[in-house]
């Protein structure tokens, strides 16, 4: 067993874990102050619920042998996952369970940005269990567990760290959720806490080094390149977003810069093992421009995807997946991209995108529709609870309490 | 001149602001306050949630405007309409206080009285 690889996998897992609390702050800073605790809770409870579901049956459904659509229940409760690795293993099999668990945790937490400030908390806990089981585990199987996407074309669709599995998946599920839960009664205009937004985005960025460089599954030169291109794409997208804002509005804001960075991180995710620095700059630039205008366009369409999950993760993820087919170089992945004159890989990438959009969009919609119809559940809090703010009405806590106000 | 002070639910501040402007108020200011009225506070979890819910002071918004006496009815009615919860209203919708203002002076010009508000 390679101890260097094992050390890096554990470190990377901890980095990816830290992204979910970072997301909690990123989202928490963006909402109204009366919903700050509630917004943080959506992310934080995902850590609890998904960790348990993952070891009980989620990992097995994703990585059990199964068929081309879904794994099986052969590893239920992690049965049959060796505690002692074989002598020539790159790292212990349980390290894979741990690393993948962190991805499963953050993905449904990403969706919550669409329905913050109005989604019923108890229904959300059930949604987490169902969504990981019915949507996340199968799509993970398609891409990384030996399913149909990994069998496309010459080398399968290239998704180094989860552009389809995590970001396109969460992005389209967010659209389904926003459609079904409906608009907020009284949305705010400004973020309640810009430093939280920036700190949250910074933690996401930091954690993304584990997300992408960890997806090399080894402490090697592939991981180093992934680390480098991850930083470059985020940096480029942040500055691009800021400059577009500066040109259009005469002002560059911290919330925009932070959102741009996240868009760049999303877009480089599938490509981190497939492109070098020039490709990363191109991908970051594209993410900055595309996601900036996607936010404006989707808001104008009247869909209340409150924190722009589809614009950032959906559009950023789709761009990243397609850009991987454009900018990949055969020296790194074994297949040529459009820049080397072949459209084959781009077509494979597009198939993976469409498959994920279709399945996740429809399955997420159906899950939420069923939860909405079950007596005692439902998707939305009462009008009075929404008006008072979910912090007090649902959780009985306030984000900040002035001295004397308790 | 009169001072109109209204203690309202924080979530209604946008509607009340709009109603005040529609009623002809040129200026007003508001701030978030915390206190307690007939409902005796709001239910909260105590500490780490190990104990039953306790009660804590309620978040409110205090909105204030200074107006000419002739505008009193219109302004009070505007606040009532905008601050009252749909239907019969609810406990916690707030209160309006009216008081006399002796003098107002505009800092820039030194104008006084109604000209200054």
pLDDT 10s digit of each residue in chain A, 406 long? Answer: 899 999 999 999 999 999 999 999 999 999 999 999 999 999 999 999 999 999 999 999 999 999 999 999 999 999 999 999 998 999 999 999 999 999 999 999 999 999 999 999 999 999 999 999 999 999 999 999 999 999 898 889 999 999 999 999 999 999 999 999 999 998 988 999 999 999 999 999 999 999 999 999 999 999 999 999 999 999 999 999 999 999 999 999 999 999 999 999 999 999 999 999 999 999 999 999 999 999 999 988 889 999 999 999 999 999 999 999 999 999 999 999 999 999 999 999 999 999 999 999 999 999 999 999 999 999 999 999 999 999 999 999 999 987 776 6
Whether A396 sits inside 8 A of B53 (CB atoms) is yes
pLDDT at A168: 98
Contact A147/A68 with Cβ under 8 angstroms? yes
β-strands B29-35, B2-8 pairing: unpaired
Residue showing tokens 């009532």 = B80
Q: Note whether A396 contacts B: Cβ–Cβ < 8 A.
A: yes
pLDDT at A29: 98
Contact A304/A313 with Cβ under 8 angstroms? no
Q: For testing the chain B interface, which of A392, A399, A403, A404 should be mutated: the one with the most B CBs within 10 Å?
A: A392
Q: Note whether B18 contacts A: Cβ–Cβ < 8 A.
A: no
Q: Which residue of A has its CA nearest to B32?
A: A402
Average pLDDT over residues B7-36: 93
Residue showing tokens 């949604």 = A127
Among residues A172, A154, A151, A155, the alpha carbon closest in space to that of A163 is found at: A172
- How far is Cα B82 from Cα B18, in angstroms, rounded to an integer? 9
Closest residue to B34, CB basis, from A384, A388, A402:
A402
Closest residue to B11, CB basis, from A186, A398, A406:
A186
Residue B21 Cα, gap to closest chain A Cα (Å): 19
pLDDT at A2: 92
Q: For testing the chain A interface, which of B9, B11, B13 should be mutated: the one with the most A CBs within 10 Å?
A: B11
CA distances to A157, A326, A338 from A111, rounded to whole Å, are: 24, 28, 32
Q: Specify whether the backbone of B87 is left (phi greater than 0), alpha (psi in -120 to 50) or beta.
A: left
Pick B91 or A140 by higher pLDDT: A140
Q: If pLDDT is split at 50, 70 and 90, which confidence band does B53 have?
A: confident
CA distances to A95, A167, A198, A263, A355 from A139, rounded to whole Å, are: 21, 12, 31, 22, 9
Residue A179 Cα, gap to closest chain B Cα (Å): 24
Closest residue to A186, CB basis, from B14, B42, B53:
B14
- How far is Cα A215 from Cα A323, in angstroms, rounded to an integer? 18
Compute the C-alpha angle A350/A356/A360, nearest 5°. 155
pLDDT at A30: 97
Confidence check: pLDDT of B51 > 80: no
pLDDT at B48: 80
- How far is Cα A400 from Cα A392, in angstroms, rounded to an integer? 11
Contact B36/B58 with Cβ under 8 angstroms? yes
Q: Note whether A184 contacts B: Cβ–Cβ < 8 A.
A: no
Q: Note whether A397 contacts B: Cβ–Cβ < 8 A.
A: yes
- How far is Cα A69 from Cα A363, in angstroms, rounded to an integer? 14
Confidence check: pLDDT of B87 > 90: no
- How far is Cα B95 from Cα B84, in angstroms, rounded to an integer? 10
pLDDT at A9: 97
Closest residue to A406, CB basis, from B10, B11, B56:
B56
Q: If pLDDT is split at 50, 70 and 90, which confidence band does B52 have?
A: confident
Helix (H) or strand (E) holding B77: helix B72-83
Count of residues making up chain A: 406
Among residues A166, A147, A130, the alpha carbon closest in space to that of A53 is found at: A130
Buried b (16+ CB within 10 A) or exposed e, A210-244: bbbbbbbbbbeebbebbbbbbbbbbbbbbbbbbbb
Strand, helix or coil for residue B31: strand
Strand, helix or coil for residue A386: helix
Residue B110 Cα, gap to closest chain A Cα (Å): 36
Contact A36/A399 with Cβ under 8 angstroms? yes
Percent of chain B with pLDDT over 90: 66
Average pLDDT over residues B90-97: 92
Whether A392 sits inside 8 A of B9 (CB atoms) is no
Question: Chains A, B: CB contacts under 8 A, how many?
Answer: 33
CA distances to A44, A190, A203, A224 from A197, rounded to whole Å, are: 16, 12, 10, 28
Whether B56 sits inside 8 A of A405 (CB atoms) is yes
Residue B44 Cα, gap to closest chain A Cα (Å): 4
Q: Which domains does chain B carry?
A: 2-116 (3.30.70.120)
- How far is Cα A380 from Cα A180, in angstroms, rounded to an integer? 9
So where are chain A's domains?
3-395
Residue showing tokens 């459904």 = A61
Closest residue to B11, CB basis, from A387, A395, A397:
A387
CATH class of domain segment(s) A3-395: mainly alpha
Residues 65-104 of B with CB under 8 A from A: 90
pLDDT at B50: 72
Whether B59 sits inside 8 A of A398 (CB atoms) is yes
Residue A390 Cα, gap to closest chain B Cα (Å): 12
pLDDT at A242: 97
- How far is Cα A44 from Cα A27, in angstroms, rounded to an integer? 12
């Amino acid at each position: 067993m390679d101890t260097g690889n094992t050390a890096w996998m554990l470190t990377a897992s901890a980095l990816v874990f830290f992204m979910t609390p970072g997301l909690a702050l990123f989202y928490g800073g963006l909402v109204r102050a009366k919903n700050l605790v509630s917004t943080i809770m959506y992310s934080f409870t995902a850590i609890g619920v998904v960790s348990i579901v993952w070891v009980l049956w989620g990992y097995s459904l994703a990585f059990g042998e199964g068929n081309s659509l879904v794994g099986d229940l052969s590893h239920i409760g992690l049965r049959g996952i060796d505690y002692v690795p074989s002598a020539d293993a790159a790292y212990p099999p349980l390290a894979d369970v741990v690393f993948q668990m962190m991805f499963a945790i953050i993905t449904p937490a990403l969706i919550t940005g669409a329905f913050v400030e109005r989604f019923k908390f108890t229904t959300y806990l059930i949604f987490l269990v169902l969504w990981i089981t019915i949507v996340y585990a199968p799509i993970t199987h398609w891409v990384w567990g030996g399913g149909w996407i990994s069998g496309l074309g010459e080398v399968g669709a290239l998704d180094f760290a989860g552009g389809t599995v995590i970001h396109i998946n969460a992005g389209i599920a967010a659209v389904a959720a926003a459609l079904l839960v409906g608009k907020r009664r009284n949305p705010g205009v400004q973020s309640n806490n810009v430093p939280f937004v920036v700190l949250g985005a910074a933690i996401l960025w930091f954690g993304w080094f584990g997300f992408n460089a960890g997806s090399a599954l080894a402490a090697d030169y592939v991981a180093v390149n992934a680390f480098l291109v991850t930083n470059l794409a985020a940096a480029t997208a942040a500055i691009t977003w800021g400059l577009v804002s500066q040109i259009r509005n005469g002002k560059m804001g911290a919330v925009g810069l932070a959102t741009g960075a996240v868009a760049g991180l999303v877009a480089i995710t599938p490509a981190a093992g497939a492109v070098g620095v020039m490709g990363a700059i191109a991908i970051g630039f594209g993410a900055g421009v595309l996601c900036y205008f996607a936010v404006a366009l989707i808001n104008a369409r009247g869909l209340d995807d409150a924190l722009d999950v589809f614009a950032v993760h959906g559009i950023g993820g789709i761009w990243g997946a397609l850009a991987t087919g454009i900018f990949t170089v055969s020296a790194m992945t074994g297949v040529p991209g459009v820049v080397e004159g072949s459209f084959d890989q781009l077509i494979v990438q597009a198939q993976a995108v469409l498959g994920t959009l279709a399945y996740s969009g429809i399955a997420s919609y159906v899950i939420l529709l069923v939860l909405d119809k079950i007596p005692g559940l439902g998707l939305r809090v009462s009008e009075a609870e929404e008006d008072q703010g979910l912090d007090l009405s649902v959780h009985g806590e306030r984000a900040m309490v002035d001295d004397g106000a308790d | 001149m009169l001072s109109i002070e209204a203690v309202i639910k924080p979530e209604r501040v946008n509607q009340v602001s709009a109603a005040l402007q529609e009623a002809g108020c040129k200026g007003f200011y508001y701030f978030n306050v915390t206190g307690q009225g007939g409902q005796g506070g709001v239910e909260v979890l105590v500490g780490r949630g190990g104990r039953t819910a306790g009660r804590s002071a309620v978040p409110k918004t205090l909105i204030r405007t200074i107006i000419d006496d002739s505008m009193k009815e219109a302004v009070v009615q505007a606040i009532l309409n905008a601050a009252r919860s749909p239907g019969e209203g609810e406990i916690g919708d707030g209160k309006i206080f009216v008081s006399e203002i002796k003098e107002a002076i505009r800092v820039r010009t030194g104008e006084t009285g109604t000209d200054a508000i």
